[in-house]
């Protein structure tokens, strides 16, 4: 291996490669980066890993709802700048924070096995034992996700929904130390990674709230031209997760949705079948278009030649059957087209306008 990989001389005559991993400074980002680092360390004991922490615009603007900050790829831009300048070689993200198209020069070189992708209810300690069904009427639920609010407003009309911002630590603090929220909604995956499983009082079923595209999966972003690093991280790919997430991302991309639109999904792999349920909502959840489709994603042995490599919704997975990847991407696009034919564009355009005007 050669290319952009730096070499460090360890003084004992041994030469080892140095791989620098960029991360945001938040505790969750650090934990996620460390978990990928330890996987890489197991797989490549000779590699020297360095972790470079930086803050991003998203971390600095803590008081504005995510869906109202115009900047796309809020949490990823500064890290990508560092990748581009060769200051780091690898950046670990929550896949759901990565847009369906990346700026040219970047690709997702690995998608790791998905954690629980569902959303979870975290209660104010005074409400211990209650559920969204049994909380008192007009209880305030904290979430800044248009997707969560839309689905839950429809399902639990007796509750009220308000924005809450900040990283996970800040949100839990706001919940526990004030009396503003009866409960907040967060991804189960983030809570688990932080070691806060014990705060999960309820996991929301798909009937209550479907998850965001890519939720619960970690992604490794690299320079698209960096063959060595791409090959190195590709062994981290979890094939079922990759197929599910490619169909979800293709669905979102075809709808022209960003990371803050009321779009939700649910996917399953059973045998060689991939099932995708996708939905779009008005902000109050009253309008909803939802459908399910499936596709055969049988893994044949025809793995694409790395020379003529293919990228699916910004993901490079040369070690997974290209026909399976193509099928997953087609499934997402087909389902989006079904919803677009039923008027999904109007629902999303109206939702976007109303949200911008708030
Ligand atoms: C995106 C959304 C949120 C994050 C929108 C959504 C939640 C925003 C909010 C795209 N990114 O889910 O509808 O609640 O104000 C984010 C979290 C994780 C990754 C935190 C969370 C951890 C889970 C994971 C923020 N990004 O959703 O509770 O790795 O999937």
With a 6 A CB cut-off, is 190 part of the ligand 1 pocket?
yes
Q: Strand pairing partners for 15?
A: 9
pLDDT of residue 260: 74
With a 6 A CB cut-off, is 36 part of the ligand 1 pocket?
no
With a 6 A CB cut-off, is 130 part of the ligand 1 pocket?
no
Residue nearest to atom 23 of ligand 1 (CA): 190
In this predicted structure, the answer to whether residue 50 has a pLDDT above a threshold of 80 is yes
Question: Measuring CA to CA, which residue among 213, 211, 214 is closest to residue 255?
Answer: 213
Q: Of all residues in the chain, what percent carry a pLDDT higher than 70?
A: 86
pLDDT of residue 276: 98
41-55, 139-153, 229-243, 305-319: least confident range: 305-319
With a 6 A CB cut-off, is 186 part of the ligand 1 pocket?
yes
**How far, in Å, from the CA of 166 to the mean position of ligand 1?**
11
CA 268 to CA 104: how far, in whole Å? 31
* pTM flag (> 0.85): yes
- Distance of alpha carbon 343 from the chain centroid: 26
With a 6 A CB cut-off, is 141 part of the ligand 1 pocket?
no
With a 6 A CB cut-off, is 149 part of the ligand 1 pocket?
no
pLDDT of residue 177: 96
99-103, 277-281, 303-307: least confident range: 303-307
- Model pLDDT for residues 65-78, shown as the tens digit of each residue: 555 554 456 667 88
In this predicted structure, the answer to whether residue 2 has a pLDDT above a threshold of 50 is no
In this predicted structure, the answer to whether residue 308 has a pLDDT above a threshold of 60 is no
**How far, in Å, from the CA of 261 to the mean position of ligand 1?**
12
In this predicted structure, the answer to whether residue 300 has a pLDDT above a threshold of 90 is no
With a 6 A CB cut-off, is 66 part of the ligand 1 pocket?
yes
pLDDT of residue 358: 81
Confirm if 227 and 233 have CB atoms less than 8 A apart: no
What is the best residue among 96, 183, 194 to mutate for testing ligand 1's pocket, by most ligand atoms within 8 Å of CB? Answer: 96
Residue nearest to atom 11 of ligand 1 (CA): 97
pLDDT of residue 187: 98
Write b or e for each residue in 222-240: b if 16 or more Cβ atoms lie within 10 A of its Cβ, otherwise e. Answer: bbbebbbbbebbbebbbbe
**How far, in Å, from the CA of 193 to the mean position of ligand 1?**
13
DSSP string, 301-312: S-BPPGGG--EE
pLDDT of residue 77: 80
At residue 344 the predicted structure's pLDDT band, cuts being 50, 70 and 90, is: very high
**How far, in Å, from the CA of 187 to the mean position of ligand 1?**
6
- Model pLDDT for residues 79-100, shown as the tens digit of each residue: 899 999 999 999 999 999 999 9
pLDDT of residue 3: 46
**How far, in Å, from the CA of 145 to the mean position of ligand 1?**
8
Residue nearest to atom 24 of ligand 1 (CA): 216
What is the best residue among 71, 92, 97, 258 to mutate for testing ligand 1's pocket, by most ligand atoms within 8 Å of CB? Answer: 97
- Model pLDDT for residues 206-238, shown as the tens digit of each residue: 999 999 999 999 999 999 999 999 999 999 999
Which among 97, 119, 226, 287 is annotated as catalytic? 97
Q: Please state whether 285 falls in left (phi above 0), alpha (psi between -120 and 50) or beta.
A: left
With a 6 A CB cut-off, is 143 part of the ligand 1 pocket?
yes
Taken as a whole, the chain contains a residue count of: 358
Confirm if 346 and 263 have CB atoms less than 8 A apart: no
Which atom of ligand 1 is closest in space to residue 260's alpha carbon? Answer: 5
With a 6 A CB cut-off, is 144 part of the ligand 1 pocket?
yes
50-54, 198-202, 305-309: least confident range: 305-309
pLDDT of residue 17: 79
In this predicted structure, the answer to whether residue 302 has a pLDDT above a threshold of 80 is no
pLDDT of residue 10: 55
Has 97 been annotated as catalytic? yes
In this predicted structure, the answer to whether residue 197 has a pLDDT above a threshold of 80 is yes
Question: Measuring CA to CA, which residue among 293, 299, 289 is closest to residue 267?
Answer: 293
β 311-312/315-316 pair status: antiparallel
**How far, in Å, from the CA of 308 to the mean position of ligand 1?**
34
- Model pLDDT for residues 117-154, shown as the tens digit of each residue: 999 999 999 999 999 999 999 999 999 999 999 999 99
pLDDT of residue 57: 65
At residue 1 the predicted structure's pLDDT band, cuts being 50, 70 and 90, is: very low
- Give the number of other Cβ atoms within 10 Å of residue 170's Cβ: 13
Structure tokens at 346: 């109007």
With a 6 A CB cut-off, is 252 part of the ligand 1 pocket?
no
Question: Measuring CA to CA, which residue among 358, 150, 350 is closest to residue 264?
Answer: 150
At residue 60 the predicted structure's pLDDT band, cuts being 50, 70 and 90, is: low
**How far, in Å, from the CA of 26 to the mean position of ligand 1?**
14
At residue 58 the predicted structure's pLDDT band, cuts being 50, 70 and 90, is: low
């Amino acid at each position: 291996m050669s290319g952009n990989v730096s070499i460090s001389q360890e003084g004992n005559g041994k030469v080892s490669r140095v791989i620098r991993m960029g991360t945001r400074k938040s505790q969750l980002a650090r934990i996620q980066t460390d978990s990928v680092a330890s996987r890489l360390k197991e797989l490549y004991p000779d590699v020297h890993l360095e972790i470079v922490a930086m803050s991003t615009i998203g971390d600095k603007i803590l008081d504005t709802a995510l869906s109202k900050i115009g900047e796309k790829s809020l949490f990823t831009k500064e890290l990508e700048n560092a990748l581009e300048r060769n200051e780091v070689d690898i950046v670990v993200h929550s896949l759901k924070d990565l847009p369906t198209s990346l700026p040219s020069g970047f690709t997702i070189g690995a998608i790791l096995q998905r954690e629980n992708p569902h959303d979870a209810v975290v209660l104010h300690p005074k409400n211990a034992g209650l559920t969204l069904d049994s909380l008192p009427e007009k209880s305030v639920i904290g979430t800044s996700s248009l997707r969560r609010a839309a689905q839950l407003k429809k399902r639990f009309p007796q509750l009220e929904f308000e924005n809450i911002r900040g990283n996970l630590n800040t949100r839990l603090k706001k919940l526990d130390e004030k009396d503003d929220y009866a409960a907040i909604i967060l991804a189960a995956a983030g809570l688990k990674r932080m070691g806060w499983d014990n705060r999960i009082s309820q996991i929301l079923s798909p009937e209550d709230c479907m998850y965001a595209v890519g939720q619960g999966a970690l992604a490794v972003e690299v320079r698209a031209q960096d063959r060595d690093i791409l090959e190195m991280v590709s062994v981290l790919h979890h094939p079922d997760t990759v197929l599910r997430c490619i169909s979800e991302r293709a669905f979102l991309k075809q709808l022209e949705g960003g990371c803050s639109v009321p779009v939700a999904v649910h996917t399953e792999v059973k045998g060689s079948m991939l099932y995708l349920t996708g939905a779009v909502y008005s902000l109050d959840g009253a309008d909803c278009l939802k459908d399910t489709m499936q596709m055969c994603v049988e893994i044949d042995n025809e793995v694409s030649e790395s020379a003529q490599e293919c990228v699916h919704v910004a993901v490079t997975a040369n070690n997974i059957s290209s026909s399976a990847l193509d099928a997953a991407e087609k499934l997402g696009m087909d389902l989006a087209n079904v919803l677009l034919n039923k008027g999904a564009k109007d629902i999303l355009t109206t939702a976007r306008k109303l949200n911008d005007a708030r």
